[in-house]
Structure 1
Amino acid sequence: MKGTFSSCVDYCRKAGAVAWNKANKPALFTGMAIVAAAAMPAHAEDLFVNGKSTISDTFGSGSTVVWVLYILEIIAAVFTYVKTKNLAVFGGIAAVMVFINVAFGIIPS
């Protein structure tokens, strides 16, 4: 391959000014402009606007998913304590509770 891009990256020492001078061609910039112009933003209506309350009830603060996450963390902490006899693993329960409360405080509802 003897294209413009491949000749710029063939040798590591040529990276920088020499490679830029080789790639500084109008055809390259024209092609990049055509590709960039095709990426226009699309505007559409929100199809999930009616599902926001359902999502908030399922995944929001005080929901079933949060309760299940707390239960799984307690089970994992008990299992880890039985295996390691280290009481510090119960600190993970507090860490998960703090993380979930902070995360749901940041996420807009």
Structure 2
Amino acid sequence: MRIRQMGFSSRLKAHKNLLTLETLRFIAEFLKDGNAKQAAFRSGIPETYAARQGQWLKKHPIVQASLEVELDPRERLKLDKALNEIDRQMQICKEILNIQDI
């Protein structure tokens, strides 16, 4: 049995209301310089897929809505701190569950 990969429009529709940690990181990184490929790479997406995934994420409804909001430097700093805290908590969870390399 062959499993068919979802087309672009199907994936976008399927995930339009889903905010993932990867998407949140992409938004924070994209706000720094407006470069989708570099933002995708800095948010943890492998360089091989960064350009394609960055362009896909820019079309995501949640990303588009968040990029329309004007953030002052204090709010950007607050966003970065919140993401760092999420990363710290994720690391603690991985240690507890003994899944360091996943």
TM over 0.5: no
Task: Please identify the structure whose Cα radius of gyration is greater.
Answer: 1
Which one scores higher on RCO, CA 8 angstroms, separation ≥ 6? 2
Q: Larger helix proportion, structure 1 or 2?
A: 1
Q: TM-score normalised to the size of structure 1? A: 0.28
